[in-house]
C-alpha cells in the first residue's frame, strides 16, 4: 500500500470543531451544481471494477458539539447497465474538547442507512452496516491537524442465495489552513463472496478479495501574476487569487474470478481517477509602490500588497527600514488568514461559532495603534508573546531568529521531529538555544536560506524587505510545500 500512496505525492497542491463531510467512501467529488456534487466511485461487487458516476447531495446541520451530515448518492454507468442509490447519515459528537484547541470526535451512522446497487441485471441490497470512527484534532494556531481511524462491515445480498461481506479498515490524515487543505485516507476493503456451487446446491463457495484505496482531497488558494500586454496601460502586472480543488483515488485489487468455480483463479489490477473543480478567480489590488523597482524582494512585496498582508496606504514601502513588532504582527496575522476566518465565522453563525478571546493587556499597547487588533490576535492565538510580563514593545525591532521562531510556532511545528542529517550553519554558534530548533525546521522547510558563506545570520535586525521575502516563503509553504511535507514527515507515509 505504501508504494501505491507514493503515486499520490506527484499531484500538486476554519479552525473550529467539528469536522464535516470528510472522506469515508473511496470516491471523489468535483463541481457543485444545483442538484449536488459531480461524483465518481468504483465498486467491486461483481469481482471486477465498475465505475459509477452521478450526483452526491450533502446536507449538514449542527447543534452544539453535534453534527449531522446526510450523504445522498445517485450514480449510474450506462455501459455496464449499473445504478447505485445510497443514503447514509453520519452523526458526529465532539468529546474531550480542550477550549477548541484539542478534541476527540466520535462518528456513528444512523441505522436507517440504505443502499441498492444494480449491475448488469443483478441487484445487490445492503442488509447491514456497522460503522465506527474516531478522530483526534489538534488546533495549532493557524493549522488544524486531524488524524482519524474507522472500521466497519457491510453485508449485501444478491438474488436468493448469494451474499457479499465487506470488512473495512481505514486511516485518514488531514490538515487545514487558510491557504490549503489536504486530506488523505488509506482505505482497505476485504470482500468475501459467498455463493452456491450450483443453482440447486446447498454447498457454498467462499472467495475472498482485497482492495486498497488511497484517496486524496486537495484544496488550494494561489496567487496568479499576469503581465499586462498593452504598453499603454497604467500597470505592468495584475494579480488574481485562484481557488481550486482536486480529488484523486488510486486503487489496486486482488480478487477472485467469479466466472469460474476454481477458487485459485484471480483478477488483479490497479488504476486511478481524478476530478477537478474549475478554478474560481478573484481580482486582487494592484501594487503601486514606487521605491521597490529593482529591489531583490520586489516580487515578494508586490504579492503581499495584493493579498493585503502589508499596508498599502503609502506609495513607499521602505524595504531597507527595520520592521517593528507591531507591523510584523499585522503581516503574520494577515498571512495566516486569521482575520478572514473571523469574518467567515461571523457571516455563518449557524454552522460555526467564532471563538471569543479576552484581550491581553500590556502597558505599552494602545487601542489607537493601527496594528492593535492584529497584535491582539497574534497574542491570543499564541503566535507572538510580549518581551516581558508587562510590555509587548510594538515599536521595537526584531531579529531574524525571533521572526522565524514566530513562524514555526504559528505552524505548530516547534516540536516536530527532525528527519535526516545536514551540515550545520556556519554561524550556528551565534544562534540562541531557544531559536536553534526553529531555525533548523524553517531551513528544512525552505522558509529560510543561508547566504553565500553558509551563514543564516540569526541576530540580524529584520528589514521590511527581508520580512516580505520571509512571509511570502511562509505563504508558499502553506500553499504548496506542506502537502508533501505533511505526507512525508508528519504522516510518514514512506
Higher pLDDT, 416 or 474: 474
Tell me: the pLDDT tens digits for 4-45?
333 332 222 233 434 445 788 889 999 999 999 999 999 999
Quote the pLDDT of residue 229.
55
Pinpoint the alpha helices (H) of 336-489.
338-347, 372-380, 400-411, 433-444, 464-476, 482-485
Same domain for 155 and 299?
no
Among the candidates 280, 302, 329, a domain finishes at 280
Considering the domain architecture, whether residues 291 and 202 belong to the same structural domain is answered as no
C-alpha to C-alpha distance for 351 and 63, rounded to whole angstroms: 8
Residue 217 CB neighbours (<10 A): 20
Q: Which of 240, 264, 280 is the last residue of a domain?
A: 280
- The residue range of the domain holding 104 is 2-280
The reply to whether 389 and 253 lie within a common domain is no
Query: Cell 482497505, residue?
Result: 188
Of 280, 312, 338, the last residue of a domain is 280
Extract the C-alpha cell encoding 9. 505525492
Q: Are residues 62 and 175 in the same domain?
A: yes
Our separate counts of H helices and E strands in the chain read: 9, 15
How many domains does the chain fold into?
A: 2
**Where do the DSSP E strands lie in 330-374?**
none
Does one domain contain both 347 and 380?
Answer: yes
Which pLDDT band, with edges at 50, 70 and 90, does 1 fall under?
very low
354 plus 295 within the same structural domain: yes
**What pLDDT is stored for residue 350 in this prediction?**
42
Q: Are residues 338 and 216 in the same domain?
A: no
pLDDT, tens only, 302-332: 999 988 888 767 889 999 999 999 999 999 9
Task: Look at residues 419, 203, 464 and name the one whose alpha carbon lies nearest to residue 321.
Answer: 464
112 in Cβ contact with 98 (< 8 Å): no
Q: Determine the average pLDDT of the residues in 334-344.
A: 72
Burial class (CB in 10 A: 0-12, 13-18, 19+), 227: exposed
pLDDT higher at 291 or 421? 291
The answer to whether residues 220 and 324 belong to one domain is no
CB atoms near residue 416 (< 10 Å) = 18
- 291 and 275 share a domain? no
Are residues 233 and 365 located together in one domain of the fold? no
Nearest to 25 by CA among 192, 136, 137, 185: 185
Section 475-494 average pLDDT: 61
Q: Tell me the per-residue pLDDT of 37-86, one tens digit each, with 9 for 90 and over.
A: 999 999 999 999 999 999 999 998 888 768 899 999 999 999 999 999 99
Looking at residue 325, what is its pLDDT?
96
Q: Looking at the structure, do residues 292 and 255 belong to the same domain, yes or no?
A: no
| Among the listed residues 417, 440, 416, 418, the one whose alpha carbon sits nearest the alpha carbon of residue 428 | 440
pLDDT, one tens digit per residue, over 178-223 is 888 888 889 999 999 988 877 666 788 888 999 999 988 888 888 8
**Which has more confidence, 483 or 144?**
144
Bridge partners of residue 253, in order along the sequence:
211, 269
The sign of the dihedral angle between the CA atoms of 418, 483, 169, 258 is negative
- Write out pLDDT tens, residues 213-269: 998 888 888 888 876 555 544 456 778 899 989 899 999 999 998 877 676 788 999
Q: What is the pLDDT of residue 298?
A: 92
Burial 46-61 (b: 16+ CB within 10 A, else e): bbbbbebbbbbeeeee
Which residues are 255's β-sheet partners? 267
Phi/psi of residue 136, nearest 5 degrees: -120, 130
* Cβ–Cβ under 8 Å, residues 101 and 112: no
Same domain, 139 and 273: yes
What would the pLDDT profile of 108-145 be if each residue is shown by its tens digit?
999 999 999 999 999 999 999 999 999 988 877 678 88
Amino acid at each position: 500500500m505504501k508504494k501505491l500512496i507514493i503515486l499520490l505525492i506527484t499531484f500538486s497542491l476554519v479552525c473550529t470543531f467539528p469536522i464535516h463531510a470528510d472522506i469515508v467512501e473511496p470516491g471523489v467529488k468535483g463541481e457543485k451544481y444545483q442538484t449536488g456534487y459531480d461524483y465518481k466511485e468504483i465498486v467491486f461487487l461483481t469481482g471486477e471494477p465498475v465505475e459509477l458516476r452521478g450526483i452526491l447531495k450533502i446536507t449538514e446541520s449542527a447543534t452544539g458539539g453535534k453534527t449531522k451530515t446526510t450523504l445522498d448518492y445517485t450514480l449510474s454507468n450506462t455501459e455496464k447497465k449499473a445504478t447505485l442509490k445510497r443514503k447514509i447519515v453520519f452523526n458526529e459528537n465532539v468529546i474531550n474538547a480542550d477550549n477548541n484547541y484539542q478534541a476527540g470526535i466520535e462518528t456513528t451512522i444512523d441505522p436507517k442507512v440504505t443502499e441498492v446497487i444494480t449491475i448488469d441485471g443483478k441487484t445487490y441490497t445492503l442488509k447491514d452496516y456497522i460503522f465506527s470512527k474516531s478522530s483526534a484534532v489538534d488546533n495549532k494556531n493557524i493549522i488544524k491537524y486531524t488524524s482519524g481511524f474507522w472500521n466497519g462491515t457491510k453485508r449485501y445480498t444478491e438474488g436468493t442465495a448469494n451474499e457479499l461481506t465487506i470488512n473495512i479498515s481505514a486511516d485518514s490524515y488531514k490538515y487545514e489552513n487558510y491557504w490549503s487543505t489536504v486530506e488523505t485516507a488509506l482505505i482497505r476493503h476485504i470482500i468475501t463472496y459467498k455463493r452456491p456451487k450450483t443453482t440447486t446446491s446447498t454447498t457454498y463457495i467462499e472467495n475472498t478479495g482485497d482492495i486498497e484505496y488511497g484517496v486524496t482531497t486537495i484544496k488550494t488558494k494561489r496567487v496568479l501574476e499576469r503581465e499586462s500586454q498593452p504598453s499603454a496601460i497604467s500597470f505592468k502586472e495584475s494579480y488574481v487569487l485562484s481557488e481550486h480543488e482536486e480529488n484523486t483515488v488510486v486503487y489496486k485489487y486482488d480478487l477472485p474470478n467469479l466466472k469460474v468455480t476454481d477458487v485459485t483463479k484471480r483478477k488483479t489490477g490497479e488504476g486511478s481517477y481524478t476530478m477537478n473543480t474549475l478554478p474560481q478567480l478573484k481580482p486582487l489590488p494592484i501594487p503601486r509602490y514606487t521605491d521597490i523597482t529593482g529591489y531583490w524582494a520586489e516580487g515578494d512585496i508586490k504579492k503581499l500588497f495584493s493579498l493585503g498582508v502589508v499596508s498599502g496606504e503609502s506609495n513607499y514601502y521602505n524595504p531597507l527600514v527595520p520592521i517593528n513588532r507591531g507591523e510584523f504582527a499585522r503581516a503574520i496575522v494577515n498571512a495566516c488568514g486569521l482575520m478572514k476566518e473571523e469574518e467567515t465565522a461571523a457571516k455563518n453563525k449557524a454552522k460555526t461559532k467564532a471563538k471569543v478571546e479576552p484581550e491581553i493587556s500590556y502597558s505599552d499597547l494602545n487601542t489607537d495603534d493601527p496594528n492593535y487588533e492584529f497584535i491582539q490576535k497574534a497574542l491570543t492565538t499564541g503566535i507572538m508573546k510580549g518581551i516581558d510580563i508587562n510590555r509587548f514593545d510594538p515599536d521595537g525591532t526584531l531579529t531574524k531568529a525571533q521572526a522565524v521562531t514566530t513562524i514555526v510556532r504559528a505552524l505548530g511545528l516547534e516540536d516536530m521531529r527532525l528527519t535526516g542529517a545536514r551540515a550545520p550553519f556556519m554561524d550556528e554558534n551565534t544562534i540562541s538555544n531557544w531559536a536553534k530548533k526553529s531555525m533548523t525546521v524553517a531551513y528544512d522547510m525552505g522558509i529560510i536560506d543561508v547566504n553565500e558563506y553558509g551563514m543564516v545570520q540569526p541576530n540580524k535586525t529584520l528589514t521590511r524587505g527581508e520580512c516580505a521575502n520571509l512571509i511570502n516563503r511562509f505563504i508558499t509553504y502553506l500553499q504548496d510545500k506542506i502537502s508533501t511535507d505533511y505526507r512525508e514527515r508528519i504522516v510518514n507515509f514512506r
